[in-house]
């Protein structure tokens, strides 16, 4: 009876965790920045805090390296390292870490049918590190959050053998350059976890047109910070774009101040050269990871001629994706929004499509 009661309690706890995580994902909340900023707030309020971080993954893991779950001394938590599969064990370990300040290494694989302990149902394996947020680690987190708020990418390197102090790095530091994504690296006879942190994804929409409405809404759910730029104030209204930042300036005035960094995508939607062309001239010379423009192939050919006549370099013009969006037969504004957001996410992840992988293998 006692073992059954324990199992029932564990099952109820996991169901509650799953509801919490699913709700956060549906609302588009709990970005990496949100999670670590909450950790900072809890610690500043005087609470003990621990952070669990995925440091290695193998196979079909549910969350990538660098994913976080933050727990405070009262048992509240935010974030996820496994989409709900093993969070119960991780929270328990985090509470222990808050109490004794000892870092912990946790490893989870496929759940065994006869085991009471939860495991991953996806068939993968993850390794997580749990640390108390205190002292140097807290100071690093505060500075890291400040840099992310200023949209400045960087890395945090943590020694896994505790032989050195964690440190904040620029991305061109030799240690940070050992990996292109967050992960464990060997460095000077030691093992380090290097977490590469980037500003959250941002989508700048040029034109408060019909397509921009569902696109802005979908992008927010997908975790993008959305800005709509349109000097036509009759289009760019809060009634049409609730919960979205509106910029009523012309693109040539707005975009330099907004700043188009490597975590920014730009979608040009108006069909009006007076608005579209200045936006494209600026965006195509910026560091943003995606630039797309609405319009037919004929419209795009005329657009290219205008931009080159205004001095745009051919190699920069090659970055422009037009007609915008994945070819999914989109017709309605919502369809087009899905195709555009899909192409933006694909560009951000830099992952080839399945048919492209098959063609490459052949």
**pLDDT confidence of 246, banded at 50, 70, 90?**
very high
What pLDDT sits at residue 10? 47
- The pLDDT tens digits for 181-206 are 899 999 987 899 999 999 999 999 99
- The pLDDT tens digits for 273-286 are 999 999 999 999 99
What pLDDT sits at residue 114? 33
- The pLDDT tens digits for 16-67 are 545 444 444 433 446 888 999 999 999 999 999 999 999 998 877 778 899 9
What span, in angstroms and rounded, lies between the C-alpha atoms of 142 and 3?
Answer: 43
The DSSP bridge pattern shows strands 202-206 and 320-321 to be unpaired
More confident residue, 2 or 125: 125
What span, in angstroms and rounded, lies between the C-alpha atoms of 58 and 197?
Answer: 21
Residue with tokens 């000097």: 231
Query: In terms of Cα–Cα distance, which of 145, 168, 149 is closest to 158?
Result: 168
Number of H helices, E strands in the chain: 11, 15
Contact 119, 110 (CB under 8 A): yes
Domain spans in the chain, listed from the N-terminal domain onward: 2-128, 137-197, 202-349
What pLDDT sits at residue 120? 52
H or E segment to which residue 258 belongs: helix 251-258
What pLDDT sits at residue 123? 61
What pLDDT sits at residue 20? 47
- The pLDDT tens digits for 285-326 are 999 999 999 988 899 999 999 999 999 998 999 999 999 999
Residue with tokens 């579209």: 276
pTM, two decimal places: 0.76
Please name the residues in contact with 308: beta carbons below 8 A apart, sequence gap of 6 or more. Answer: 314, 317
End-to-end CA distance of the chain: 58
More confident residue, 353 or 321: 321
- The top-level CATH class assigned to 202-349 is alpha beta
What span, in angstroms and rounded, lies between the C-alpha atoms of 91 and 93?
Answer: 5
- Longest CA pairwise span in the chain (Å): 81
What pLDDT sits at residue 2? 56
Q: Is the dihedral of CA 233, 235, 236, 239 positive or negative?
A: positive
Query: In terms of Cα–Cα distance, which of 70, 157, 69, 158 is closest to 108?
Result: 69
Return mean pLDDT, the chain: 86
- The pLDDT tens digits for 82-113 are 876 788 889 999 999 999 999 999 988 755 44
What pLDDT sits at residue 162? 78
What pLDDT sits at residue 23? 42
Three-point CA angle 175, 179, 183, nearest 5° = 100
What span, in angstroms and rounded, lies between the C-alpha atoms of 55 and 161?
Answer: 14
What is the DSSP secondary-structure string of 43-95? HHTT--EEEEEEEEEESS-SS-TT-EEEEETTS-EEE-SSTTSSHHHHHHHHH
Arithmetic mean of pLDDT, 144-150 = 94
């Amino acid at each position: 009876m006692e073992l059954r009661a324990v199992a029932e309690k564990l099952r109820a706890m996991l169901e509650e965790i799953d509801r919490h995580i699913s709700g956060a994902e549906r609302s588009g909340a709990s970005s990496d920045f949100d999670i670590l900023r909450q950790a900072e707030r809890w610690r500043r309020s005087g609470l003990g805090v621990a952070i669990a971080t995925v440091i290695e993954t193998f196979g079909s893991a549910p969350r990538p390296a660098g994913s976080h779950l933050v727990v405070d001394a009262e048992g509240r938590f935010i974030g996820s390292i496994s989409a709900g599969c093993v969070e119960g064990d991780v929270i328990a370990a985090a509470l222990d870490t808050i109490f004794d300040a000892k870092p912990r290494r946790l490893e989870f694989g496929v759940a065994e049918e006869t085991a009471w302990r939860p495991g991953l149902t996806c068939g993968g394996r993850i390794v997580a590190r749990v640390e108390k947020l205190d002292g140097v680690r807290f100071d690093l987190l505060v500075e890291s959050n400040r840099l992310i708020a200023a949209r400045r990418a960087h890395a945090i390197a943590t020694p896994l053998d505790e032989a050195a102090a964690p440190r904040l790095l620029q991305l061109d530091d030799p240690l940070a350059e050992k990996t292109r994504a967050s992960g464990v690296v060997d460095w000077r006879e030691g093992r380090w976890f290097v977490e590469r942190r980037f500003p959250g994804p941002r989508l700048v929409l040029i034109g408060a047109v019909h397509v921009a409405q569902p696109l802005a809404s979908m992008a927010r759910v997908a975790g993008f910070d959305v800005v709509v730029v349109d000097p036509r104030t009759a289009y760019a209204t809060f009634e049409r774009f609730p919960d979205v930042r509106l910029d009523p300036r012309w693109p040539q005035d707005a975009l330099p101040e907004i700043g188009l960094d490597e975590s920014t995508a730009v979608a040009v939607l108006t069909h009006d050269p007076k608005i579209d062309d200045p936006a494209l001239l600026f965006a195509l010379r910026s560091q943003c990871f995606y630039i797309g423009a609405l319009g037919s192939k004929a419209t795009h050919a005329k657009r290219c001629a205008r931009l080159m006549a205004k001095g745009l370099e051919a190699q920069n013009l090659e970055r422009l994706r037009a007609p915008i969006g994945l070819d999914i037969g989109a017709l309605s504004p919502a369809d087009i929004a899905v195709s555009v957001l899909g192409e933006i996410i694909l560009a951000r992840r830099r992952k080839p499509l399945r048919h492209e992988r098959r063609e490459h293998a052949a």
